[in-house]
Structure 1
Amino acid sequence: MTATLSKPALRIGPYQVDPPVVLAPMAGITNVAFRRLCREYGAGLYVCEMITARALLIGDPKTMHMMTFDASESPRSVQLYGVDPATMREAVKVIVGEGLADHVDTNWGCPVTKVTRKGGGAALPYKRRLFADIIRACVEAAEPAGVPVTAKFRIGIDDEHHTYLDAGRIAEGEGAVAVALHARTAAQRYSGQADWSHIARLKEAVTTIPVLGNGDIFTSGDALAMMERTGCDGVVVGRGCLGRPWLFGELQAAFAGEPVPEGPNLGEVARVLRRHAELLVEHDGEEKGVRDLRKHMAWYLMGFPVGSPLRRRLAMVSTLAELDDLLGELDHDAPFPSAGEGPRGRQGSPGRVTLPYGWLDDPDDPTVPAGADMMHSGG
């Protein structure tokens, strides 16, 4: 299978993204340590975990720490969450005025209840005028500094309320330089299969800016298949790289038409895991950094012949010295397993999307949802 490599290079505003691969922002995952680790395998655009506009404006210390970028990271990309045009405008002004990032993505895909019940995330594009107001506010605040603004969204709230075609056309019309579609509804959360046919439909509807596809890219072959089937201009990789930062090397090779590297043996995985630990410790200190590594263990070891007792001990590791001892107990010659590919990360079950009272009554109501902008946990 070959990708549509004759396409023009993917551009996000002034930035060329080659290969046309974007790391999706994932809460608690895509911090500076994980982004650097992924970048060591291949080029692309690597997005910081989501930041709330309100938290940025109040100078929340946790938020500012989350917005750490490596000195060699370029462009510096951040995803911004908010529901109020005025708040989003001011947050973008801070980002560009203080030189905090080079690219601002806006989040309209979050399906979690605490967000949608207040009209945020995947619920908001249903309100077409409000969505347009927010995109316009961000673009106007970013334009003087030449900072590109993009938008990432889902198919819609559920199968009865698709919003993505309107969202794509609105974002295009208001000056966003690219849009990305996670081909699931909010009701699906991360369950079932992404329906790539909607990416193809969005590509037909949005004609002047790049359209990126997201959903169920777990191998380099998946990325090539998505581009071939949908005509999209690039791919956004989320859960597929959990415990597999080398996926970006595989993607770079695939898009260049080169042989895709073999999956690493367990010894190489141990080395990568140790490198991840070092970067987390550099960012957060040993106690917090090693503790943060615990959630990655099952992803790194997926499919490998590692006994339950050792897995449990790795999932409770507390220091780098302890980590070194435990990694030494692994069978470093164990080859990469076929079970190490495929779906990973949270999937959950589909369910009803909780929305504010009367949310579906008037899609052209531009009223800012009450309370949603007060979330300022730092993402």
Structure 2
Amino acid sequence: MPAPLRIGDLVIDPPILQAPMAGFTNAAFRQMVREFGGSGLLATEMVNARGFVWLDENEAEHPDRLWGVADEARPLAVQIWDNDAATMAKVGRRLVEEYKISIVDINFGCPVRQVTEKAHSGSYLLREPQRMFDIISRLVKACSPTPVTAKIRLGCSPENVNCNEVARVVEEAGAAALTVHGRTAKDMFKGHADWDRISQIKSHLINIPLIGNGDLDSAEKVVAAFENYQVDGVMIARACLGRPWLFAQAAAALRGDPIPPEPTLKEQRNVMLHHYKLVTERFGEEKGTILMRKYACCYAQGKPGARHFRSHVATIASATEFYAVVDEFFPVEERPRNPSSAAP
């Protein structure tokens, strides 16, 4: 069992983190993860700092992405993004004072064009380490004593990998931990995460922990990450979206306990229905149902008949339609394997 992860004065145990993912890791999803257990630190969706300031100045409701944060169990991280140090510091301070969050995380890893090329934020800033330093140091001062962390990619492109330099900048600026996704921004989510590159970053850090992220889709891979690479923690991202029980499986594996089996398809169906209930309670039937489309597709991924289910669930607009599609098209039991397709 790896040692608990320490971020500032916080002890993250087990050292398995749930990644912040835009459009997915809202309060309903985080509740699903908590109910299964196994994650030492959960995170919100990433919050646009400039948008937050605009809402505040216009006395509008705070972002939906902060739904549930005030009353949620701790520890909890909120990830923010922008390229202006003063704006980031202002929002960070509000999150600490008003929401009492455990960690302020800075997104320097998002590769999406709307964030990078249009807003010159996220992974775009990897090409400007000094600007990263200014943002981090200003935020650290504003949020003290709440720890500030950063998430990066290996670089902007395979031809411009500068994660070692950036790691030193992140630590020198006062961040309490560094998370690294093992792809470049240009890679998006193609190919495989380079865990050797992630591991090499450890020698460029002096005191802060290194958290690895990328392609962790099984308990066995989480164990292998700790055994084979120089990381202090791991972060699970896309693989958990239709499998909120993955954290519990990974935590058991790290303890050396038997890995809990995948829930049956009937059990997974019930998990999805529970998730739908949480979403619609917050957003109402119409908006909640539309929001649930993408989650439902995640729950079906890799299952027999998934494509057929996705094509139908993608058009639902009411609870009646959702339940009808689930009843008719979500698989309930495994299809028997065709003996003729078995390897000799």
The reply to whether TM is greater than 0.5 is yes
Q: Distance in 1 between matches of 2:3 and 2:110?
A: 30
SS at match of 2:151: strand
Q: Distance in 2 between matches of 1:239 and 1:309?
A: 21
Q: Distance in 2 between matches of 1:320 and 1:266?
A: 21
User: Residues 64-103 of structure 1: matches in 2 within 5 Å?
Assistant: 64-69=63-68, 71-103=71-103
1:123–1:156 CA contact under 8 A, matched in 2 = no
Give the direction of change, closer, same or farther, for the CA distance of 1:335–1:268 in structure 2 (3 Å limit). Answer: farther
Q: Distance in 2 between matches of 1:293 and 1:13?
A: 36
Matched, 1:19 2:48: no
Structure 1 segments of 4 or more deviating over 4 A? 60-63, 307-311
Matched, 1:130 2:125: no
Q: Distance in 2 between matches of 1:208 and 1:163?
A: 20
1:200-243 deviation per Cα after TM superposition (whole angstroms, max 9, x unaligned): 11111113111000011111111111122212011111111121
Give the direction of change, closer, same or farther, for the CA distance of 1:336–1:89 in structure 2 (3 Å limit). Answer: farther
Matched, 1:54 2:50: yes
Q: Distance in 2 between matches of 1:216 and 1:94?
A: 34
TM-superposed CA distance for 1:171, in Å, is 1.4
2:122: which partner in 1? 121
**Unaligned 5+ residue runs, structure 2?**
338-344
Give the direction of change, closer, same or farther, for the CA distance of 1:336–1:85 in structure 2 (3 Å limit). Answer: farther
TM-superposed CA distance for 1:47, in Å, is 0.7
Q: Distance in 2 between matches of 1:155 and 1:216?
A: 15
SS at match of 2:208: coil
Give the direction of change, closer, same or farther, for the CA distance of 1:173–1:272 in structure 2 (3 Å limit). Answer: same
1:271: which partner in 2? 270
TM-superposed CA distance for 1:91, in Å, is 1.4
- Which structure is richer in relative contact order (CA contacts within 8 A, separation 6 or more)? 1
User: Residues 1-379 of structure 1: matches in 2 within 5 Å?
Assistant: 5=1, 7-42=2-37, 43-59=39-55, 61=60, 64-69=63-68, 71-117=71-117, 118-143=119-144, 146-306=145-305, 310-329=309-328, 330-334=330-334
1:203–1:230 CA contact under 8 A, matched in 2 = no
SS at match of 1:334: coil
TM-superposed CA distance for 1:319, in Å, is 2.9
1:181–1:214 CA contact under 8 A, matched in 2 = yes
1:277-336 deviation per Cα after TM superposition (whole angstroms, max 9, x unaligned): 011112211111111111122221123223765543333233334433433334533379
TM-superposed CA distance for 1:14, in Å, is 2.4
Q: Distance in 2 between matches of 1:258 and 1:222?
A: 15
1:112-147 deviation per Cα after TM superposition (whole angstroms, max 9, x unaligned): 22322253211212212111111100000011xx21
1:265–1:335 CA contact under 8 A, matched in 2 = no
Q: Distance in 2 between matches of 1:305 and 1:88?
A: 45
Higher deviation after alignment, 109-118 or 39-48: 109-118
TM-superposed CA distance for 1:198, in Å, is 1.1
Q: Distance in 2 between matches of 1:308 and 1:86?
A: 46
Q: Distance in 2 between matches of 1:98 and 1:336?
A: 54
Number of corresponding residues: 330
Give the direction of change, closer, same or farther, for the CA distance of 1:239–1:336 in structure 2 (3 Å limit). Answer: farther
Q: Distance in 2 between matches of 1:260 and 1:141?
A: 42
Q: Distance in 1 between matches of 2:308 and 2:203?
A: 52
Which one-letter code corresponds to 2:138 in the other structure? A
Q: Distance in 2 between matches of 1:102 and 1:33?
A: 19
SS at match of 1:80: strand
Which one-letter code corresponds to 2:44 in the other structure? C
SS at match of 2:140: helix
Which one-letter code corresponds to 2:92 in the other structure? V
Q: Distance in 1 between matches of 2:175 and 2:306?
A: 49
1:277–1:320 CA contact under 8 A, matched in 2 = no
Which one-letter code corresponds to 1:149 in the other structure? V
1:135-184 deviation per Cα after TM superposition (whole angstroms, max 9, x unaligned): 100000011xx211000000001122122112211111221110000010
Query: TM-score, structure 2 length as denominator?
Result: 0.90
Percent sequence identity is 37
SS at match of 1:225: helix
Q: Distance in 2 between matches of 1:277 and 1:128?
A: 42
SS at match of 2:191: coil
Q: Distance in 2 between matches of 1:253 and 1:99?
A: 32
1:26-57 deviation per Cα after TM superposition (whole angstroms, max 9, x unaligned): 11001111111111111321110011111121
Which one-letter code corresponds to 1:51 in the other structure? V
SS at match of 2:175: coil
Give the direction of change, closer, same or farther, for the CA distance of 1:308–1:85 in structure 2 (3 Å limit). Answer: closer
Which one-letter code corresponds to 1:56 in the other structure? F
